[in-house]
Amino acid sequence: MSTPLPTSQDASAEAFKGASSGLLQILEAAKNNKSFPQYLAIEGPIGVGKTTLAKKLAELLNYPLLLEPVTENPFLDRFYAEGTNQALPTQLFFLLQRAKQVQDMPGNDLLDRALVTDFMIEKDDIFATLTLDPAELDLYRQIHDSLELAPPRPDLVIYLQAPARILRQRVFRRGIDFEQSINIDYLEALADSYAGFFHYYDDAPVLIVNAAEIDFANNEDHFNALLKHILQMEGTRQFFNPNPTLL
């Protein structure tokens, strides 16, 4: 379900205490004239910080927030514990849940299509290709195609990258029980699969962020630097790879 957020300018200021008044004014002007992305999708492998960044952006921008239903998947803990034996029901649950979420998304033809998500429906094929055997993958894709999904195109995709060892540290730190059995080989394969997907992705502008040493949750300088980069972004593909010690 999408979560409506406050719409007052006071809420934006409270969420963005570390920013200068000038940056806040520039951001508000960009939102008003639609030069700032209205629909932002945050993507990347497990543990990279998608949900944290999505929540922070939605709170600042007063945009609705749509999160993927990870903890609602009753098969996910079995998948991490047993591996490929539970891959198909895990993937089908996510597919059907995201199909429902697509229905809640504003359409491409709407003037007010503000939204922040921590997933793209296209990500399902990344996981399906990585975890399903050929027969299961064929069945999955038949079901996927039968749903005739038509999600709106993001105005900007923020793709967060980090090495598998960093992902493993963050997964361990956040302490979700069923995630503790994720092995680093799986995380390496997943990170490679994401890199391969976004190498060819051209359906929307992409900002590729080196998130290995960036702390958007607790460091306002890091978050502000990302916002400034988005405000200045031109073209369909850019990289945000700052030295965190210089921010």
Catalytic residue among 10, 118, 155, 192: 118
Q: What gap in Å lies between CA 113 and CA 125, rounded to an integer?
A: 25
- DSSP-assigned states of every residue in 5-51: ----HHHHHHHTTTS-HHHHHHHHHHHHTT-S-SEEEEE-STTSSHH
3-state secondary structure of 66: strand
Task: List, edge to edge, every strand of the sheet that includes 206-210.
Answer: 65-66, 115-117, 39-43, 156-161, 206-210, 237-240
Q: What gap in Å lies between CA 218 and CA 69, rounded to an integer?
A: 24
Instruction: Write the single-letter amino acid at 153.
Output: R
215 is catalytic: no
Instruction: Write the single-letter amino acid at 29.
Output: A
Cβ contact 158:53 at 8 Å: yes
Residues composing the chain: 247
Active-site residue list:
118
